Chain A
Amino acid sequence: MSKHHISVTINGDPTEFLCETEQTLLDVLRDELGLTGSKEGCGSGDCGACSVRLDGRLVCACLVLGAEINGSKVETIEGVAAGHALHPLQQTFLTEAALQCGICTPGIIVAAKALLEQNLDPSEEEIRYWLAGNLCRCTGYDKIVRAVQSAAAVMRSA
């Protein structure tokens, strides 16, 4: 069985890869491209640790096949900071201790960034429902929600 040859843009970089039919986008990112910032917590779309943007849409990379994204634009946690300039979400997650073990953090930051790009002033309830697909077992979500609120405030005043 021959592999699929796929051309995409990942975090702004034109990228080509070969993948098996059954390899997910998450497998491709982690195993073929070395982008291990997206995590596999469940492989079934329930935990959100592999959240990425596919042509702007927030998706679980474990629910997308690598072979179906030819020509797409993929954004992962590795592309959230601009070089060494952290995104406001990354800053507020650090200053407000919004992570403990940190395994869910990349997915949550990618998901929260997608929210703030469409709504710069989300309510607590909007943040909680938007992030309901991203499991965190360490924090109880309190500091995560606050960090998203703080980042929104930073971005509004920018």
Chain B
Amino acid sequence: MGNEGNQFKYVGTRPVRPDGVDKVTGQANYGADFTLPGMLVGRVLRSPHPHARIKSIDTSRAAALGGVRAVVTSADFPNLPSEVAAGGEAPVNYRHISCNAIARDKVLYEGHAVAAVAAASANLADEALALITVEYEVLPHVIDVRAAMRPDAPLLHDDLFTDGVDPKPTKPSNIAKRTQFVMGDIAQGFAEAEVVIEREYTTQPVHQGYIEPHACVASVAADGMTTVWCSSQGQFMIREFCAKLLKMTDSNIRVIPAEIGGGFGGKTTVYLEPLAIALSQKSGRPVKMVMSREEVFRASGPTSGAHLRVKIGAKRDGTLVAGDLELAYQAGAFPGSPAIPGCMTGFAAYNIPNAKSVGYDVVSNRPKCAAYRAPGAPMAAFAVESALDELALQLGMDPIELRLKNAAQEGTRALYGPKFPVIGFVETLQAAKAHAHYSAPLKANQGRGVASGFWFNIGGQSSAAIHINDDGTAEVVTGNPDIGGSRASMAIMAAEVLGIDLAKVKPLIGDTASVGYSFLTGGSRVTFATGKAVCEAANDVIAQLRARAAKLWKCDIEEVIWKDGVAYPAQGQTDARAQLSLAEIAASAAKTGGPISGKAALNVGGAGAGFGTHICDVEVDPETGRVTVVRYTAIQDVGRAIHPGYVEGQLQGGAAQGIGWALNEEYVYDEQGRLQNAGFLDYRMPVASDLPMIDTVLVEVPNPSHPFGVRGVGEVPIVPPLAAVANAVARAGGVRVNDLPISPPRLLAALQKGHH
């Protein structure tokens, strides 16, 4: 395909991805596809109770079963101190990760791992699990976030004292942390307001829903050297977490990344890997562990359910003067919900002079939450963007006009601190307003909703190496799992900078021993930060190529310029006799100093903030309460789309996940604290027949901190859909539902109850 009128040869084009053929032919190897000779099968015994003290575990009968090679419990893992460290996408507490991977003293949710076995076959492993006797003292449990905050709620951790309140509490509680951001004077702001909207909202926990369950193979050699093959969002994260949990050194663990079958943030921590290593240590054999779908639902992290209260004050002309947001997010069994990013993002898209947000991180007897695409932002945006829609209706204003009037721009100070540099929020609103979708007629029972969203995006540490082969081709090695086409972007950027044919560039994802440290694939960082490392590695290659040309020409390197993949002398650029292509220089590399190999190892700052605006049309069936999304348009400032096809895909996929969050997805618990819908039949993710085509508009306001202007794109698109759908439903049916999901029974009840 053509390059769509831009100034680049490859950036902005849509080549076939380098890993594509393997993936359409079934040859690509994902986490569960790897096997080793002599491999054992590992299985996990999980708690049937949502909250219980482990009084004893007797594994002797399991260990005695023929074919069982190892049994582990928490007694086989170091008892780590509770301390917070940098790691993953947010600060981590390795004691909590360890106790989540295998319960110590107490089980805190149904499905919590208690013991693991490795046996010669899956059947033997399952038989062994049944022979393990665990004596539990069942404790009262709490599932709901507001119930968990009450003073008389069952306590999950007796050493958990609410952080962030003064004075420090004397009694433990389930509230792990209170966070607050304040700007201006909200009392004064609300006093100036002529219209005030105040509402409460709830959202349900939703699972990332990657189609590939967690899977790994671990093999520990007699000298302790440990190799792990697994799919994850970061081979270095797996290495680091396993080393901490097992008190090993990083260099004794090598993690080889498999293809990853979806993550969306959910594969930014460890569950099986430390167990598989411990089982391999004990058995002396490679151990493979794969979660069932049921285990994925019961024991891996969804994102938080939330309870939110928002109050917004405005002048009659729509100028926002005050905002007050309070949110409580479910962390699951251990502290660490995305309440802080919820507080930071809620009002970030708007210029509100007096604003405050308060967040509570609350533990309850649910699986520990994990990152999910723009962690914490979609729930906060659901509340704020729903309230804004009500404000627009009350003021008789167009919802895009209301947002345009208050949109954050370059220089606007965000509630969480910084002033925005160049951003493209206004451009997304203008594009939405101008889009044919926005003025298209609606039919009976249809409504149109608009909502916007913000996400920070991140940079961070990334490494890249580019090795030039003798024939002028290039291997581009990076350390980030490719979760949605990033190898295509790396190849495009390398080819663009080097000035060589894209077909000559082969991107590859290295293991932890063969490429420099790279922070995990998350935070919408890879095309931005790792892409920048690739560009710098390519510039390093060019510097070496110029030096080799200078050597051949017996001149100074300053007298050699590099253009379109060819070295020219600084003067007489058109003299064909004095040109050296990359391939020519590569062919003579041995004679001019040896292999040509560039690298970059960066800690990248300057991630460009991302904004999106979505338009959603729904049709409400007044007889059943079923909501059908009939048209959807996602508009986003992407900075620069390196491969527009995969950028559009991010917008479409994020929108689809957000639609599922808004309409169907939820965790259903019974009175005993057991999850009732741990499968894809009852946990209802959108299927093809649930959705329309999802139109996209890529707005490009380049990020000055990236060689090609890239902003992260993966997370923003899940922020607007919750409110875009809810606003459309409200405008279609005349009834606003502030509790997600807007499932048929819930909407039908609301419709029957009438307006509010």
Query: Is A155 engaged at the interface, CB distance under 8 Å to the other chain?
Result: no
Known contacts A94-B20, A101-B261, A137-B685, A106 near B26 by CB under 8 Å: yes
Query: Is B675 engaged at the interface, CB distance under 8 Å to the other chain?
Result: no
Task: Tell me whether chain B's interface is mostly helix, strand or loop, or mixed.
Answer: loop
Q: Is the CB of A102 within 8 A of B23?
A: yes
Contact pattern, B 174-201, Cβ under 8 Å of A = 1, otherwise 0: 0000000000000000000000000000
Interface residues of B in 478-530 (CB under 8 A from A): 483-485
Q: Is the CB of B26 within 8 A of A38?
A: yes
A76 to chain B, nearest CB (A): 7
Query: Is B455 engaged at the interface, CB distance under 8 Å to the other chain?
Result: no
Known contacts A43-B293, A138-B484, A101 near B210 by CB under 8 Å: yes
Interface size of B by CB at 8 A reads: 59
Known contacts A94-B16, A139-B649, A99 near B26 by CB under 8 Å: no
The CA of A145 and the CA of B209, in the complex, are separated in Å by: 20
Binds B, one of A2-10, A65-73, A128-136: A128-136
Known contacts A90-B24, A137-B210, A101 near B293 by CB under 8 Å: no
Contact with B688, one of A40, A41, A141 (Cβ below 8 angstroms)? A141
Q: List residues of chain A with CB within 8 A of the CB of B646.
A: 97, 100
Q: Is the CB of A137 within 8 A of B209?
A: yes
Query: Is B645 engaged at the interface, CB distance under 8 Å to the other chain?
Result: yes
A80 to chain B, nearest CB (A): 7
Interface residues of A in 56-112 (CB under 8 A from B): 76-78, 80-81, 86, 89-90, 93-97, 99-106, 109
The CA of A109 and the CA of B21, in the complex, are separated in Å by: 13
Query: Is B669 engaged at the interface, CB distance under 8 Å to the other chain?
Result: no
Known contacts A38-B26, A137-B264, A143 near B645 by CB under 8 Å: yes
Query: Is B657 engaged at the interface, CB distance under 8 Å to the other chain?
Result: yes
Query: Is A42 engaged at the interface, CB distance under 8 Å to the other chain?
Result: yes
Q: Is the CB of A39 within 8 A of B30?
A: yes
The CA of A35 and the CA of B24, in the complex, are separated in Å by: 14
Q: Is the CB of B691 within 8 A of A140?
A: yes
Query: Is B656 engaged at the interface, CB distance under 8 Å to the other chain?
Result: yes
Q: Is the CB of A94 within 8 A of B687?
A: no
Known contacts A127-B688, A139-B652, A140-B653, A100 near B483 by CB under 8 Å: yes
Interface size of A by CB at 8 A reads: 59
Query: Is B33 engaged at the interface, CB distance under 8 Å to the other chain?
Result: yes
The CA of A97 and the CA of B259, in the complex, are separated in Å by: 17
Q: List residues of chain B with CB within 8 A of the CB of A132.
A: 687-690
Q: List residues of chain B with CB within 8 A of the CB of A109.
A: 24
Q: Is the CB of A140 within 8 A of B652?
A: yes
B670 to chain A, nearest CB (A): 20
The CA of A22 and the CA of B634, in the complex, are separated in Å by: 46
A76, A102, A127 pick with most chain B CB within 10 angstroms: A102
A16 to chain B, nearest CB (A): 20
Q: List residues of chain B with CB within 8 A of the CB of A103.
A: 30, 210-212, 259, 261-262
Query: Is B282 engaged at the interface, CB distance under 8 Å to the other chain?
Result: no
Which residue on B lies nearest to A76, using beta carbons?
Answer: B26
Q: Is the CB of B653 within 8 A of A78?
A: no
Query: Is A28 engaged at the interface, CB distance under 8 Å to the other chain?
Result: no
The CA of A134 and the CA of B263, in the complex, are separated in Å by: 18
Query: Is A150 engaged at the interface, CB distance under 8 Å to the other chain?
Result: no
Q: List residues of chain A with CB within 8 A of the CB of B649.
A: 97, 100, 138-140, 143
Q: List residues of chain A with CB within 8 A of the CB of B264.
A: 137
A75 to chain B, nearest CB (A): 12
Known contacts A39-B211, A94-B17, A105 near B24 by CB under 8 Å: yes
Query: Is A119 engaged at the interface, CB distance under 8 Å to the other chain?
Result: no
Q: List residues of chain A with CB within 8 A of the CB of B688.
A: 127-129, 131-132, 134, 136, 141, 144-145
Which residue on B lies nearest to A1, using beta carbons?
Answer: B123
Contact pattern, A 29-48, Cβ under 8 Å of B = 1, otherwise 0: 01000011111111110110
Q: Is the CB of A139 within 8 A of B689?
A: no
Which residue on A lies nearest to B34, using beta carbons?
Answer: A36
Query: Is A121 engaged at the interface, CB distance under 8 Å to the other chain?
Result: no
B102 to chain A, nearest CB (A): 24
Known contacts A100-B484, A144-B688, A49 near B26 by CB under 8 Å: no
Contact pattern, B 647-659, Cβ under 8 Å of A = 1, otherwise 0: 0111011111100
Known contacts A36-B33, A141-B688, A99 near B20 by CB under 8 Å: yes
Q: Is the CB of A36 within 8 A of B25?
A: no
Q: List residues of chain A with CB within 8 A of the CB of B292.
A: 43
Q: Is the CB of B484 within 8 A of A101?
A: yes
Q: Is the CB of B211 within 8 A of A47?
A: yes
Query: Is A142 engaged at the interface, CB distance under 8 Å to the other chain?
Result: yes
Q: Is the CB of B293 within 8 A of A42?
A: yes
Contact pattern, B 292-326, Cβ under 8 Å of A = 1, otherwise 0: 11000000000000000000000000000000000
The CA of A124 and the CA of B646, in the complex, are separated in Å by: 22
Q: Is the CB of A81 within 8 A of B25?
A: yes
Q: Is the CB of A137 within 8 A of B657?
A: yes
B35 to chain A, nearest CB (A): 8
The CA of A110 and the CA of B616, in the complex, are separated in Å by: 32
Q: List residues of chain A with CB within 8 A of the CB of B745.
A: none
Q: List residues of chain A with CB within 8 A of the CB of B484.
A: 100-101, 138
Can you name 13 extra interface pairs (CB under 8 A) apart from A101-B260, A105-B24? A38-B26, A43-B293, A49-B211, A94-B24, A104-B211, A128-B689, A136-B211, A137-B264, A138-B262, A138-B649, A139-B656, A141-B688, A143-B645
CB-CB nearest 9 A-B residue pairs: A37-B26, A103-B261, A97-B645, A140-B656, A102-B23, A77-B26, A140-B652, A46-B680, A100-B484
12 residue pairs from A and B, CB less than 8 Å apart = A35-B26, A37-B26, A39-B32, A46-B681, A102-B19, A127-B688, A132-B689, A137-B208, A137-B656, A138-B262, A140-B655, A144-B688
Interface residues of B (CB under 8 A from A): 14, 16-17, 19-21, 23-30, 32-33, 123, 208-213, 259-264, 290, 292-293, 483-485, 643, 645-646, 648-650, 652-657, 679-681, 685-691, 693-694
Interface residues of A (CB under 8 A from B): 20, 22, 30, 35-44, 46-47, 49, 76-78, 80-81, 86, 89-90, 93-97, 99-106, 109, 124-125, 127-129, 131-146
